[in-house]
């Protein structure tokens, strides 16, 4: 019998490639139990359930409201939730049998705590579905096992991260404990705790069973009227272009007939890209091998929690009386040609790659060194040899399909031992791809699950169902929404591959607040890029754009081509200054560049700073119906005279903020087309954060299509740069550069004009995102450098300096300006976020979301965004628990240090634990503390921004 340590030694000692195969054979064939098998460790898979049939398992209906393609975790969860929400004319089409893609060989782990509030909510829902709802509905057990989860910390930062998770868990009622090494040993006697800092124990984590979950989900869904048709590959998606030029789904085609439908959901796992191609939709994911091994029986392992040793990049899943061992390696194998014949398939396990995990696993649970691995993998498509005796299988299945499975039966059963390498889809940011595709209406994505599709399946299935039925998800799904990626990136294979590799390899890395990717950089550079790089700019990546993060006085930090961290025989970069700067910030303390950012902030507050915000999305909304469209789209009244600029939100139907942006009314002019395009009817210029530009574009486009407004949305983002000059000296500086009077009377706040800057036509806009007097200059690409230089030259004697987005983050939170997707999201209304002034509720003009806001206002706000300051000099980054009078009432969404007020500032929504509205009185009357990493810090709540609460500075009153 091969043992893990033998495998490790053998692979470590391998030299020439040519001898490897021979060594591998010797290693696993000369020992006690020669095997050549790959299989999953589950007692039952659906492959064995019934013999393959020719053709669909049921006749196809002629039409359906929704067709879900793919019968894995996501397809089954989506079908179930659609049916549960009342949409029952729905069909799931599966090419082979349910679960036959990735789902059948999942490890099925469910951890409840992640460094994202939305993900904690999604995971909680999955857990509720598999541990409670399905059983209540069907009387069947899904195979859920609640054996707990244990996260291992081998260094201080890691333990800090776990403490952050624990604090967040308190806001959601997720029970968790930070344990000392000795306490960990008591809980898990087989564990080596010598090198531990501590652990995070979550007793209600557990494991899902793929076959049990999917069959129970489909049984519950079909009981409500949904249909499941297996052995029915989808071969085409019919798309029709309507009279307005909009592409819409009309039917799904198979070899056995077609189904008329206006809605298709792509839950096709690694095959999602090819399914997307059938409709002309880009699905940016890559397929990779992903593996685990299953050990022989281990005495004393029964009932132990599952383990994630992040620093060793390895997990140990309890598998009855054995362990499954898997992880994330630095050199995963890409599956280049995804085969559509691959059902219940597995790959050869590449021992050279997998060895990295064994070392970590043996270090954590030393008994593994002497533990056997019984079977090995010999190639795709090999039949699974069942190791269970018929008697045991029959017994298990009997109890499974009865009203309740006996958990003890699971644990007593002899387990199937295997080495297992399967396929899974991975994405550029390690987050799924969901929502309606921007290219085709009615084509929804539910794919790209990055090795978390079991645990996220329930939460995501529910959101997807809500999205399909209501047009938007219930939660803030921006992080998973396909529209988060710019359209130029979703077809960029190199970008997808590089970023997916890095995200995979870093999956178990600590999530630090200021980290940036090294892969897929320099895709979108603005006209000032080279100039700012020369001046020490340290860039941040935001969905393809490089935007200034901060300016390093020590010199330049260019971003190099991706070196795959030395994997796949790439030569790793040496002396990579950008990478080193990132590494210096891997801390939950104040980062080493805190003082540099402080200087940028205080220069802005005391003199003037220049921010390059060229990555902004810059759109024109023009045409006969532009006014009607603007009235409907924007929560604020933008129907002002040309020359005005309005800060507004765009809402969804339940009043949630899909965006915040500025909208400037235009007069028809005939000058530079980038700055003043010719139009008929009305015209508006929209400026929106660059990271969310595609999302905004798609939102507006969908609304225009739904309402059939006759107007155009034109993207000038790449044609225009933008710099913002902010601070008390901004007027003096700009008066030297611009050919217009900048005094308050001539150029008031919230207005814009076409002017000349150093001889170049630009659009100047008096606005601020940092709480100072200042102007944005929207500049045609070619004029960016001369205008920027003229500003810097004029500002030199006033102490002007470059500043980046790290400074903007601090300055804006200090002033109390919201960040979309931080303290303002699609699940927050402007009323809850303290932005009632952006809503034209006093007018009679209808707008998207108005009815929901009116209802909310009448009923009272059930949550409210509150500003907190903390006197103690302690860094906060978001996710801290908010305590009020000894009870947790919410968590922090966004936090930073405010240098002018010299305090940590944190924003979070609070709720009344008794239920009912959160009044201003309720806010003011509490005693607050913010819990950071398990330690509480007294905090003061503010109902107005603590910095310049009367807005004097933006008006130029210093
Ligand atoms: C080794 C390994 C360990 C893992 N461990 C975990 C874990 O511990 N926890 C966790 O949460 N996740 C884990 N995962 C990930 C998880 O298993 C997946 O994310 C999840 O199963 C993906 O489900 P899916 O429905 O998106 O895809 P799939 O399960 O692949 O389902 C897609 C389905 O679409 C069907 N299909 C494709 N094309 C067509 C077509 N044209 N017509 C009809 N049908 C079609 C396929 O046959 C397939 O059944 C692991 C994955 C692997 C590989």
Per-residue confidence at 289, pLDDT binned at 50, 70, 90? confident
The pairing of strands 264-266 and 66-69 is: parallel
Q: Is 944 a member of any domain? A: yes
* 79-93, 330-344, 604-618, 683-697: least confident range: 330-344
236 lines ligand 1 (CB under 6 A): no
Per-residue confidence at 862, pLDDT binned at 50, 70, 90? very high
Q: Is 14 a member of any domain? A: no
* In the predicted structure, residue 170 carries a pLDDT above the cut 90: yes
- Which stretch, 286-300, 671-685, 896-910, has highest mean pLDDT? 896-910
Residue keyed to tokens 């190199």: 494
What is the C-alpha to C-alpha distance for residues 197 and 183, in angstroms, rounded to an integer?
11
Query: Quick one: pLDDT at residue 392?
Result: 27
Q: What is the whole-number distance in angstroms between the Cα of residue 99 and the centre of ligand 1?
A: 7
- Residue 624, burial from CB neighbour count under 10 angstroms (0-12, 13-18, 19+): middle
Mean pLDDT of 838-848: 97
- Report helix angle 626-633 to 693-707, nearest 10: 110
- Residue 444, burial from CB neighbour count under 10 angstroms (0-12, 13-18, 19+): buried
The residue whose CA has the least distance to atom 22 of ligand 1 is: 453
Tell me if 888 sits within 8 A of 902, measured CB to CB: no
* In the predicted structure, residue 402 carries a pLDDT above the cut 60: no
Per-residue confidence at 369, pLDDT binned at 50, 70, 90? confident
CA 324 to chain centre: 27
Query: Quick one: pLDDT at residue 800?
Result: 98
Cα distances (angstroms) measured from residue 674 to each of 169, 201, 584, 642, 777: 49, 57, 41, 17, 13
H or E element in which residue 731 lies? helix 730-737
* In the predicted structure, residue 291 carries a pLDDT above the cut 90: no
Q: Is 404 a member of any domain? A: no
Of all residues in the chain, what percent carry a pLDDT higher than 90? 79
Tell me if 289 sits within 8 A of 332, measured CB to CB: yes
* In the predicted structure, residue 663 carries a pLDDT above the cut 50: yes
Token reading at 693? 């530009």
What is the C-alpha to C-alpha distance for residues 192 and 4, in angstroms, rounded to an integer?
16
Tell me if 692 sits within 8 A of 617, measured CB to CB: yes
* In the predicted structure, residue 434 carries a pLDDT above the cut 50: yes
Q: What is the whole-number distance in angstroms between the Cα of residue 103 and the centre of ligand 1?
A: 4
Answer with the one of 457, 480, 503 that is the final residue of a domain.
Answer: 480
* 180-189, 391-400, 873-882: least confident range: 391-400
Render pLDDT for 529-548 as a digit per residue (tens, 0 to 9): 999 999 999 999 998 999 99
CA 576 to chain centre: 28
Query: Quick one: pLDDT at residue 355?
Result: 74
CA atoms within a 13 Å half-sphere pointing along the CA-CB vector of 83: 26
Nearest to 415 by CA among 78, 118, 124, 41: 41
* 118-132, 415-429, 430-444: least confident range: 415-429
Render pLDDT for 586-595 as a digit per residue (tens, 0 to 9): 999 999 999 9
Query: Quick one: pLDDT at residue 9?
Result: 46
- Residue 618, burial from CB neighbour count under 10 angstroms (0-12, 13-18, 19+): buried
Mean pLDDT of 720-745: 98
Answer with the one of 480, 503, 524 that is the final residue of a domain.
Answer: 480
461 lines ligand 1 (CB under 6 A): no
Instruction: Report CA Rg, the chain.
Output: 29
Mean pLDDT of 333-349: 73
Token reading at 645? 């600029």
Q: Is 702 a member of any domain? A: no
38 lines ligand 1 (CB under 6 A): no
Tell me if 210 sits within 8 A of 77, measured CB to CB: no
Residue keyed to tokens 């940036």: 516
Token reading at 749? 């706040």
Q: For residue 760, list its beta bridge partners.
A: 757
345 lines ligand 1 (CB under 6 A): no
* In the predicted structure, residue 101 carries a pLDDT above the cut 60: yes
Higher pLDDT, 844 or 39: 844
What SS3 state is found at 321? coil
Query: Quick one: pLDDT at residue 859?
Result: 96
Q: Is 830 a member of any domain? A: no
* 311-325, 687-701, 849-863: least confident range: 311-325
* In the predicted structure, residue 413 carries a pLDDT above the cut 50: no
Please give, one letter per residue, the 3-state secondary structure of 336-357: CCCCCCCCCCCCCCCHHHHHHH
For 150, residues 6+ apart whose C-beta sits below 8 A from its C-beta are 184, 187, 188, 199, 200, 201, 202, 305, 306, 307, 308
For ligand 1, pick from 91, 323, 451, 464 the residue to mutate: most ligand atoms within 8 Å of CB: 451
Query: Quick one: pLDDT at residue 356?
Result: 74
The residue whose CA has the least distance to atom 41 of ligand 1 is: 234
* In the predicted structure, residue 574 carries a pLDDT above the cut 80: yes
Q: Is 637 a member of any domain? A: no
Query: Quick one: pLDDT at residue 346?
Result: 65
* In the predicted structure, residue 384 carries a pLDDT above the cut 90: no
Q: What is the whole-number distance in angstroms between the Cα of residue 343 and the centre of ligand 1?
A: 11
* In the predicted structure, residue 333 carries a pLDDT above the cut 90: no
Answer with the one of 436, 453, 480 that is the final residue of a domain.
Answer: 480
- Residue 324, burial from CB neighbour count under 10 angstroms (0-12, 13-18, 19+): buried
The residue range of the domain holding 880 is 860-957
Mean pLDDT of 620-639: 97
Cα distances (angstroms) measured from residue 8 to each of 3, 14, 22, 355: 9, 10, 16, 6
H or E element in which residue 238 lies? strand 234-241
What is the C-alpha to C-alpha distance for residues 171 and 887, in angstroms, rounded to an integer?
10
* In the predicted structure, residue 394 carries a pLDDT above the cut 80: no
Cα distances (angstroms) measured from residue 691 to each of 483, 498, 523, 695, 702: 11, 19, 13, 8, 19
For ligand 1, pick from 41, 68, 72 the residue to mutate: most ligand atoms within 8 Å of CB: 72
The pairing of strands 537-542 and 682-688 is: unpaired
Render pLDDT for 790-820 as a digit per residue (tens, 0 to 9): 999 999 999 999 999 999 999 999 999 999 9
Token reading at 300? 């004393």
For ligand 1, pick from 60, 102, 266 the residue to mutate: most ligand atoms within 8 Å of CB: 102
Token reading at 543? 């969905």
* In the predicted structure, residue 166 carries a pLDDT above the cut 90: yes
Tell me if 6 sits within 8 A of 24, measured CB to CB: no
347 lines ligand 1 (CB under 6 A): no
**∠637-641-645 over CA atoms, to 5°?**
60
Query: Quick one: pLDDT at residue 829?
Result: 98
Q: What is the whole-number distance in angstroms between the Cα of residue 461 and the centre of ligand 1?
A: 13
Mean pLDDT of 78-96: 97
* In the predicted structure, residue 419 carries a pLDDT above the cut 60: no
Query: Quick one: pLDDT at residue 893?
Result: 97
Counting the structural domains of the chain, the total is 2
Query: Quick one: pLDDT at residue 414?
Result: 31
The CA-to-CA distance between both ends of the chain, in Å, stands at 80
Q: What is the whole-number distance in angstroms between the Cα of residue 454 and the centre of ligand 1?
A: 8
* 146-150, 222-226, 545-549, 564-568: least confident range: 564-568
Token reading at 475? 């939660």
Which CATH number covers residue 867?
Answer: 2.40.30.110
* 553-557, 675-679, 797-801: least confident range: 675-679
Q: Is 442 a member of any domain? A: yes
Average pLDDT, rounded, for the chain? 89
Q: Is 503 a member of any domain? A: no
Per-residue confidence at 342, pLDDT binned at 50, 70, 90? confident
From the CA of 448, give the closest atom in ligand 1.
Answer: 26
Per-residue confidence at 325, pLDDT binned at 50, 70, 90? confident
Query: Quick one: pLDDT at residue 105?
Result: 85
Mean pLDDT of 718-741: 98
Count Cβ atoms below 10 Å from residue 104 Cβ, excluding itself: 23
Q: What is the whole-number distance in angstroms between the Cα of residue 460 and the centre of ligand 1?
A: 14
Which CATH number covers residue 439?
Answer: 3.50.50.60
Q: What is the whole-number distance in angstroms between the Cα of residue 40 and the centre of ligand 1?
A: 14
Query: Quick one: pLDDT at residue 349?
Result: 66
* In the predicted structure, residue 319 carries a pLDDT above the cut 50: yes
What is the C-alpha to C-alpha distance for residues 705 and 719, in angstroms, rounded to an integer?
25
């Amino acid at each position: 019998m091969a043992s893990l340590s033998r495998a490790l030694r053998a692979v470590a000692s391998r030299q020439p490639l040519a001898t490897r195969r021979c060594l591998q054979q010797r290693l696993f064939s000369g020992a006690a139990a020669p095997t050549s098998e790959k299989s999953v460790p589950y007692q039952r898979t659906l492959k064995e359930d019934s013999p393959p049939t020719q053709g669909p398992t049921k006749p196809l209906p002629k039409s359906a409201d929704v067709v879900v393609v793919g019968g894995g975790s996501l397809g089954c969860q989506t079908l179930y939730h659609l049916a549960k929400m009342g949409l029952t004319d729905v069909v799931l089409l599966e090419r082979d049998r349910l679960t036959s893609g990735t789902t059948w060989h999942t490890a099925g782990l469910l951890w409840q705590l992640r460094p994202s509030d939305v993900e904690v909510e999604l995971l909680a829902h999955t857990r509720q579905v598999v541990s409670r709802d399905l059983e209540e509905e069907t009387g069947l057990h899904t195979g859920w096992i609640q054996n707990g989860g244990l996260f291992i910390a081998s260094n201080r930062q890691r333990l800090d991260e776990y403490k952050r998770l624990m604090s967040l868990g308190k806001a959601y009622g997720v029970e968790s404990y930070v344990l000392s090494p000795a306490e960990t040993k008591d809980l898990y006697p087989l564990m080596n705790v010598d090198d531990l800092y501590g652990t995070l124990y979550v007793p209600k984590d557990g494991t899902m069973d793929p076959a049990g979950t999917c069959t129970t989900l489909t049984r519950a869904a079909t009981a409500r009227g949904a249909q499941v048709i297996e052995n029915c590959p989808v071969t085409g998606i019919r798309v029709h272009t309507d009279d307005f030029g909009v592409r819409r789904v009309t039917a799904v085609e198979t070899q056995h007939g077609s189904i008329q439908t206006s809605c298709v959901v792509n839950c096709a796992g690694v095959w999602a890209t090819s399914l997307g191609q059938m409709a002309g939709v880009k699905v940016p994911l890559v397929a990779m091998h992903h593996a685990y091994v299953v050990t022989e029986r281990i005495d004393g392992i029964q009932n132990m929690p599952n383990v994630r040793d992040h620093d060793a990049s390895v997990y140990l899943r309890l598998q009855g009386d054995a362990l499954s061992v898997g992880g994330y390696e630095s050199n995963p194998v890409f599956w280049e040609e995804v085969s559509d014949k691959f059902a219940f398939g597995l790959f050869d396990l590449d021992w050279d790659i997998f060895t990295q995990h064994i070392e970590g696993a043996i270090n954590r649970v030393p008994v593994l060194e002497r533990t056997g691995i019984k079977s090995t993998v010999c190639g795709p498509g090999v039949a699974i040899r069942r190791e269970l005796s018929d008697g045991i299988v029959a017994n298990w299945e009997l109890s499974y399909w009865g009203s309740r499975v006996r958990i003890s039966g699971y644990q007593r059963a002899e387990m199937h031992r295997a080495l297992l390498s399967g396929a899974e889809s991975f994405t550029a940011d390690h987050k799924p791809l969901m929502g309606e595709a921007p290219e085709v209406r009615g084509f929804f994505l539910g794919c790209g699950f990055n090795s978390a599709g079991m645990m996220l399946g329930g939460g995501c299935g529910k959101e997807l169902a809500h999205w399909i039925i209501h047009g938007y998800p219930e939660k803030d799904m921006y992080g998973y929404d396909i529209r988060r990626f710019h359209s130029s990136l979703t077809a960029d294979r190199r970008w997808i591959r590089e970023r997916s590799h890095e995200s995979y390899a870093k999956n178990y890395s600590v999530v630090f607040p200021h980290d940036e990717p090294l892969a897929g950089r320099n895709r979108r550079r603005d006209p000032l890029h080279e100039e700012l790089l020369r001046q020490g700019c340290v860039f941040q990546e935001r969905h393809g754009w490089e935007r200034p993060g901060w300016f390093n006085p020590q010199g330049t930090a260019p971003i190099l081509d991706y070196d795959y961290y030395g994997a796949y025989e790439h030569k790793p970069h040496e002396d990579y200054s950008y990478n080193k700067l990132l590494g210096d910030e891997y801390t939950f303390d104040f980062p080493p560049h805190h003082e540099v950012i402080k200087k940028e902030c205080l220069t802005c507050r005391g003199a003037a700073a220049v921010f390059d915000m060229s990555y902004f999305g810059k759109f024109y909304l023009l045409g006969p119906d532009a006014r009607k469209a603007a009235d409907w789209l924007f929560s604020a009244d933008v129907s002002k005279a040309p020359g005005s600029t309005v800060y507004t939100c765009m809402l969804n139907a339940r009043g949630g903020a899909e965006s915040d942006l500025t909208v400037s009314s235009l007069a028809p002019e005939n000058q530079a087309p980038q700055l003043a395009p010719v139009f008929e009817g009305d015209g508006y210029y929209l400026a929106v954060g660059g990271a969310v530009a595609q999302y905004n574009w798609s939102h507006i486009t969908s609304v225009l299509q739904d309402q059939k407004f006759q107007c155009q949305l034109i993207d000038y983002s790449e044609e225009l740069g933008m710099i913002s000059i902010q601070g008390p000296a901004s007027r003096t500086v700009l008066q030297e550069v611009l050919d217009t009077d900048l005094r308050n009377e001539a150029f008031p706040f919230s207005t814009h004009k076409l002017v000349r800057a150093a001889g170049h036509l630009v659009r100047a806009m008096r606005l601020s995102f940092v709480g100072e007097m200042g102007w944005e200059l929207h500049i045609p690409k070619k004029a960016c450098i001369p205008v920027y230089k003229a500003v810097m030259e004029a500002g030199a004697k006033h102490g002007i300096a470059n500043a980046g987005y790290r400074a903007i983050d601090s300055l804006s939170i200090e002033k109390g300006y919201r960040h979309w997707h931080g303290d303002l999201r699609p699940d927050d209304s402007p009323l809850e976020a303290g932005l009632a002034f952006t809503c034209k509720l006093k007018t009679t003009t209808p707008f998207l979301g108005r009815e929901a806001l009116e209802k909310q206002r009448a009923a009272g706000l059930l949550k409210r965004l509150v500003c907190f300051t903390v006197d103690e000099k302690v860094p906060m980054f978001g996710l801290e628990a908010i305590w009020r009078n000894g009870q947790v009432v919410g968590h922090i969404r966004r936090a930073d240090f405010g240098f002018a007020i010299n305090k940590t500032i944190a924003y979070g929504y609070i709720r009344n634990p008794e239920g009912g509205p959160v009044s201003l009185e309720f806010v003011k009357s509490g005693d607050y503390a913010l819990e950071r990493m398990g330690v509480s810090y007294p905090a003061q709540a503010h109902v107005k921004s603590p910095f310049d609460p009367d807005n004097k500075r933006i008006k130029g009153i210093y």
